[in-house]
Chains A and B, each alone.
Chain A
Amino acid sequence: MNAITPFALAAAGLVGLGLYGMLAQSSVLRKVIAFNLLGIGVFLVFGVAARRGAAAGLPADPVPQAMVITGLVVAFAATALALVLTLRLHQTIGAVTLAEDPAPPANPGTPPE
């Protein structure tokens, strides 16, 4: 166990939590938060890779850090987009989950117009 193992374990934990949240939570807002947790876990993996791959004399490899910055911007934009859609969903039909709409009142016999 060296100095970066705790970070790697934390990254794995965050990825696991985020993945579970995205798949298991029904509320859209919770899914979006879980997506962010998952993203942070992935960025931490990049951080671990940067520390491990550091050349002699450098504290860290700068390339993964540049990638994390790009990733953060993308995740920020994605979160904003998801939140806008969630907000519109709530404003227009009052829903906070993606569950299927309740079936319209069945009216067998009459063909739909």
Chain B
Amino acid sequence: MTGTLSGALLVLAIALPLGATLLAFVLGGQAASRVARGALWLWLALAVAIVAAVIKQGEPISYHIGGFAPPIGIALAADGLAAAMLLAAAIILVAAGLFGRAAYPAPSWDKGGRAAYAYWCLLPALAASLAVAFLARDLFSLFVALEMLTFTALALACLDGRPSQFKAELRYLLFALLGSVLYLLGCALFYGAYGTLDIGLLAGNTRADAPTRLAGALMTVGLLAKMAVFPLHLWLPPAHAGAPPAGSALLSGLVVKGAFVLLVRLWFWVLPGPPVAGAELLATLGAAAILVGSVVALRQEKLKALIAYSTVAQIGYLFLMFPLLMAGDPDAATRAWMGGMLQATSHALAKAAMFLAAGLIVQSIGEDRVAGLCGAARATPFSVLAIAIGGLSLMGVPPSGGFTAKWMLLRASMDTGQWWWSLVILTGGLLTGGYVYRLVAAALAPAPAGAAPRPVPRIQEGAVLVLALLSMVLGLLPLSMLGMAQIGQPVITP
């Protein structure tokens, strides 16, 4: 269980990017960029090693910091969920590192240099916060991870320092702060009731009494605010659409997934026999997010606003898994679980690719309205291809990762007799097809006369295309790889 080598991997996954952040902060300039990129590649290697260790061991790997077991010490653990999310995060952050080489090269201390300096410090900081969010096994460490995520995400979103951005980001910060303080209040109630916040000790020992329910409700609402679930979604589109491309990609692809992992840990590990009515409420909110987010995305004029509303919709899919997991059918629960995990990872990859590609297109043709995209396919063919591939994954067209995710959720909803969720999944897919078609059709239209697109660096287009392809390849993975997601899957008895 607490093998020293695999345990060391978990500690390194947090310590390495944190150390790189500090080093980049001290060194600055070109060195900061090199340190950050090197650390992210190493982090990717660590994530691969953790995935391999989890698969080899067939059960979650855990580590007690300093050798002190909970309740005195703090536990770290990597199960299938954590390992899969870690790997997806590492791939996206490495891509963001490649993308940033061209976007934030300036080593000097002028305005652009300051953004570059901040970017290279924040990239490994985001990696460290995500590692804590995925690996930590007590509710308070998860609170700290949540706050680290908020702070790094906010700074990444404000990187350009554009005045128009401050209002959206300040609104994001206030939502996030309210969310985390509600989460902290829930932690206090849990501690008061049980005297520990360790998830392993709480699991199976919580009672379905008033303090537990209140704490669970407060923490859930706090996390929903952080994930921008309908109807708390209004802060997300302006905050994500207004950020610089790399910031949008990281915010939409990864930061919301951190809160999602916390919510899953809370519901399926900590809460006593999670309330079915509550799960249905969550899924209803998710369904509303899918429908409202997709319809509003269809009507957006601006490229990045459209992609941001698509995030609101795609987050909704993650919540459909909650009632399906609790229906009491083990096969359906496994499908719902894998569907949820695949949706989280494939959306992360696809959405990061789409936001980065959108940034490249805007940079090349200098136009951010959907109607003005004509000629984009000629100017930036790989970016348009990445948007199309990412869009196919969001729609759920085979053989993409998004298809497998939605197929599993669809099967689970039919198996458990909750067919109404499958209607939502299918309608959401159609609406997604609508807005992706709008983007691709506009981009394929011939360029207006006299258009002079600026070339974009090949390495950026390459990184974006690889991300999109990976979201597609997720659907082709052999089942044994997908089986990793089941390692440590909670058994839910309704």
Residues of A within 8 A of B (CB): 15, 18, 22, 28, 31, 35, 38-39, 41-42, 45-46, 48-49, 52-53, 61, 63-64, 67, 70-71, 74, 77-78, 81-82, 85-86, 88-89, 92-93, 95, 98, 101, 112
Give the nearest-CB partner of B183 in chain A. A42
Q: Is the CB of B191 within 8 A of A39?
A: no
Give B127-164 as 1s and 0s: 1 = Cβ < 8 Å from A's Cβ atoms: 00000000000001001100100110010001001010
Q: Which residues of A contact B191 (CB under 8 A)?
A: 46, 49, 53, 63-64, 67
Q: Is the CB of A85 within 8 A of B184?
A: no
25 contacts between A and B (CB under 8 A): A22-B174, A28-B170, A28-B174, A42-B184, A45-B185, A45-B189, A48-B192, A52-B192, A53-B195, A64-B191, A67-B140, A70-B144, A74-B143, A74-B144, A78-B150, A78-B151, A81-B173, A82-B170, A82-B173, A82-B177, A85-B158, A88-B163, A89-B166, A89-B170, A112-B369
Give bound CA distance, A25 to B231, whole Å. Answer: 20
Would A82 and B174 be within 8 Å (CB), given that A38-B181, A53-B195, A67-B140 are in contact?
Answer: yes
Q: Which residues of A contact B438 (CB under 8 A)?
A: none
Number of interface residues of B (CB under 8 A): 30
Name the residue in B147, B158, B170 with the highest tally of chain A Cβ atoms < 10 Å from its Cβ. Answer: B170
Give bound CA distance, A15 to B189, whole Å. Answer: 13
Q: Which residues of A contact B147 (CB under 8 A)?
A: 74, 77-78
A3 to chain B, nearest CB (A): 16
B183 to chain A, nearest CB (A): 10
Give bound CA distance, A27 to B171, whole Å. Answer: 12
Q: Which residues of A contact B189 (CB under 8 A)?
A: 45
A1 to chain B, nearest CB (A): 18
Would A89 and B167 be within 8 Å (CB), given that A70-B140, A74-B144 are in contact?
Answer: yes
Given contacts A28-B174, A71-B143, A98-B170, 4 further A-B contacts (CB under 8 A): A35-B174, A42-B184, A74-B180, A86-B170
- Count of chain A to chain B residue pairs whose CB atoms are closer than 8 Å in the complex: 87
Q: Of A18, A81, A112, which is within 8 A of B154 by CB?
A: A81
Give bound CA distance, A52 to B188, whole Å. Answer: 12
Give bound CA distance, A77 to B177, whole Å. Answer: 11
Q: Is the CB of A22 within 8 A of B170?
A: no
Give the nearest-CB partner of B155 in chain A. A81
Q: Is the CB of B169 within 8 A of A22?
A: no
